[in-house]
Amino acid sequence: MIRVEPRNANSAIFSYGVPILSAVVALILASIPLWLAGAPVLISYVEMAKGVFGSKFAFSEMLTRATPLMFTGLAAALAFRAKLWNIGAEGQLYLGAIAAVAIGTGYIEAPAFILLPLIIAFGCAAGSVGMVVPAILKTRYGADEVVTTLLLNFIIIIFLQYMLEGPLKDPMGLGWPQSSPILDQGMLPPLMERMRVHSGLIIAIVCALIAQFMLARSVWGFKLRAVGENVFAARHAGIKVNRTILGAAAISGALAGMAGVSEVAGLKGYLTSDLSPGFGYAGIIVAMLAGLSPIGVVISALFIASVFVGADSMSRAMGVSSYLADLVVSTSLLCVLIGGFFGRFKLVRTNLEGKN
Amino acid sequence: MIEIFQILLTESFWAASLRIATPLIFGVLGALICEKSGVLNLGIEGIFVAGAMAGWMAVWLGAGLWGGVVVAAIAGGFFGLIHAILTVPLGLSQHVSGLGVTLFATSASYFSYRTALPNVSSPPRIEPFRPLEIPILSELPFIGTILFQQTALTWLALFMVGLVWYVMNRTGLGVAIKAVGDNPNSVDAQGLSVYGLRIGAIVVGSALMALGGAFLTMSAFDAFFFGMVNGRGWICIALVIFASWKPGKALLGALLFGAFDALQVRMQTEVGAKVPSQVFLAAPYVLSIVALVIAARRAEYPRALLTPWFKGQR
């Protein structure tokens, strides 16, 4: 007989080792689809590494890709800590982006030091609303937030298409469904000359630091963790559970909304309906790989972004489908889940009477 | 208003409703079996994609239509098994594991499709299931057109409703599955395997979900497109709560949904000029959320849903 028993203490080796090992295992497992696709495996890995570390430009592209993943990863990590399953970061990202172009494309003419904070505030508020609504449906009516946030993603993308064909459509856009460009003074300043990486990255890292501090040291963070770990005990201790959940929802949605602001006001400049290639869903993987730690999110976002950027350039060079990146990323999630199990539990061999 | 009634009286409207409902019937039944055993399966969306891709691919490679159905079911069972191992013996978060399976199944399907067909501009087509023309019955005025011009997969879905109802309510296996979703300790005390029942329920449920996907590529359409599942799996997760985990109500829910979807397509042509088309496109998702909110209050979730169980631990 084999029995599952919890480990006595969370060892540091496991909490750091498991995610790193999972990432490595996922990368190694990628050799199977590479081999099936008929690509030379080792050369493909070299191409992948070159795609990230091969040049200053490649590296800056990776940082650019990591920026929205940090925001959506933080959005998922904070919500999941409170056992609030926000799977709607994709939709909230678009709400943030819609709000950003709604006020940033000339509706308000103001200098940068007014306009930029306004765009960020509106974007975050819009994302926030996108998560608070399903959170209210959960606390008021008991409607499962997983299903509502997932379905809201579809509704918001349809709403986005309406906005891009109607109210937000660029009159100079030659009929394409895209928004007008954001005013120059509304754009997040770039970090390096002639590179696409922008100051959204700095904002994301600062957000992660603040989130780490709040979660570990503040009363708010304590309440959030208490609700996530044991809702009955939290209620018994006098914590207002619903209010804590709504607070977590508001912050989580705001961070996802910020991902949209950063993409549209930091990178693209205008809004199209393909702004995000699934950053919201990838954020869940980022958060899980980080063990729901905000600082960890920064690191795991860099890893996931490296996989995406590296696999993109490898697939161009080797003629392998770029869906390989999604395959590696989703495999790493499954690996980290399994690894996390062995971090928390140990298998104990027992004799027939069930004693140790 | 008159237009709505005129639409409701047409045969094609009801035939379309049943057609739209078919993949949802498979999906809701599959989700129902998983959840009755105590495990939420959010892998459903990805399993739909895998079923659609694998079934289509098998037919395209010459396996025959029913061969494709079998391959789709096996693919669904395989991804279900991954979810089962992660959530039952390992007892991991059912939410995260399910999403992981969805992402994995989706990317594996897309990658295989792209690898098998690297340079196609338009997706290759297969000869899909034809409507079953049953002599005499197909000639019946209203019912004949609605019921007897559906494909074999729709009939299979309707048959599955009866089969799942029968197994759940009239057999010892059904009692055991329901018990393992309500009180696994009691099942263990009876000497039955909690792990075995749950894993089995998830694999079978996932195979059914995959048939929903297979219907899309082998009956509703004749090719595989990226993004063709489009949230149908998530809608099933909402519908199963709406149906309070009962096969009969699941059929009703899927049919109501199909009718609503068929109606919105027809309304679009009637009043399309006045109302933006996106209102109609968003309607099915909004409807699912509304149905969920209405049903959630009095939903009697299987009592052990989302709760992992470990042997030898009380």
Kindly tell me if the per-residue pLDDT of A356 is higher than 50. no
Residue A286 has φ and ψ, to the nearest 5°, of -55, -45
Q: Which amino acid is at A48?
A: M
Among the partner-chain residues B95, B111, B292, the one whose CB lies closest to the CB of A33 is: B111
Q: Residue B151 in 3-state DSSP?
A: strand
For A156-215, write each residue's pLDDT tens digit: 999 999 999 988 888 887 878 899 999 999 999 999 888 899 999 999 999 999 999 999
Rounded distance between C-alpha atoms, residue B297 and residue A324, angstroms = 42
Supply the ipTM of this predicted assembly: 0.90
For A245-277, write each residue's pLDDT tens digit: 999 999 999 999 999 999 999 999 999 999 999
Question: 1.10.3470, 3.30.1360, 1.10.287, 1.10.10: which CATH number matches B8-114+133-296?
Answer: 1.10.3470
For A66-76, write each residue's pLDDT tens digit: 999 999 999 99
Among the partner-chain residues A87, A151, A319, the one whose CB lies closest to the CB of B288 is: A151
Token representation of residue A309: 């950027």
Q: Which residue in A2, A98, A150, A352 has the most chain B C-beta atoms within 10 A of its own C-beta, making it the best mutation to test that interface?
A: A150
A148–B115 C-beta distance less than 8 A: no
The predicted structure's pLDDT at residue A355: 45
Nearest-CA distance A141 → chain B (Å): 6
What count of residues does chain A have? Answer: 356
C-beta of residue B232 within 8 angstroms of C-beta of residue B212:
yes
A118 pLDDT tier (thresholds 50, 70, 90):
very high
The predicted structure's pLDDT at residue A1: 64
Size of interface A-B (CB pairs under 8 A): 140
Among the partner-chain residues B101, B106, B278, the one whose CB lies closest to the CB of A159 is: B278
A333 → chain B, closest CA residue: B100
The predicted structure's pLDDT at residue A156: 97
Q: Which H helix or E strand runs over A287?
A: helix A279-289
Contacts of A333 in chain B (CB under 8 A): 96, 99-100, 103-104
Greatest extent of chain B over all pairs of C-alpha atoms, in Å = 65
Quick check: B226 contacting A, CB < 8 Å? no
Rounded distance between C-alpha atoms, residue B294 and residue B288, angstroms = 10
Token representation of residue A319: 């003629």
B114–A323 C-beta distance less than 8 A: yes
Among the partner-chain residues A36, A144, A323, the one whose CB lies closest to the CB of B110 is: A323
Contacts of B230 in chain A (CB under 8 A): 154
Kindly tell me if the per-residue pLDDT of A354 is higher than 50. no
Quick check: B234 contacting A, CB < 8 Å? yes
A4–B311 C-beta distance less than 8 A: yes
Rounded distance between C-alpha atoms, residue B198 and residue B176, angstroms = 10
Nearest-CA distance A229 → chain B (Å): 13
Q: Which whole number is the average pLDDT over B205-233?
A: 95
Contacts of B292 in chain A (CB under 8 A): 143-144, 147-148
Quick check: B296 contacting A, CB < 8 Å? yes
B296–A141 C-beta distance less than 8 A: yes
The predicted structure's pLDDT at residue A176: 84
Nearest-CA distance B241 → chain A (Å): 10
> B25-50: string of b/e by CB count within 10 Å (b at 16+)?
bbbbbbbbbbbbbbbbbbbbbbbbbb
Q: What percent of chain B shows pLDDT beyond 70?
A: 98
B82–A326 C-beta distance less than 8 A: no
Q: What percent of chain B shows pLDDT beyond 90?
A: 67
Q: Which whole number is the average pLDDT over B112-121?
A: 86
Write down the domain spans for chain A: 67-208+218-290
Nearest to A28 by CA among A45, A13, A16: A45
Range scoring the smallest mean pLDDT among A145-154, A309-318, B205-214: A309-318
A3–B310 C-beta distance less than 8 A: yes
Greater pLDDT, B141 or B169: B169
Write down the domain spans for chain B: 8-114+133-296
Nearest-CA distance B84 → chain A (Å): 12
The predicted structure's pLDDT at residue B53: 97
Give, in degrees to the nearest 5, the angle at Cα B299 between B294 and B301.
145
For A17-46, write each residue's pLDDT tens digit: 888 888 889 889 989 999 988 889 999 999
Rounded distance between C-alpha atoms, residue A46 and residue A27, angstroms = 12
Q: What is the mean pLDDT of chain B?
A: 91
Quick check: B100 contacting A, CB < 8 Å? yes
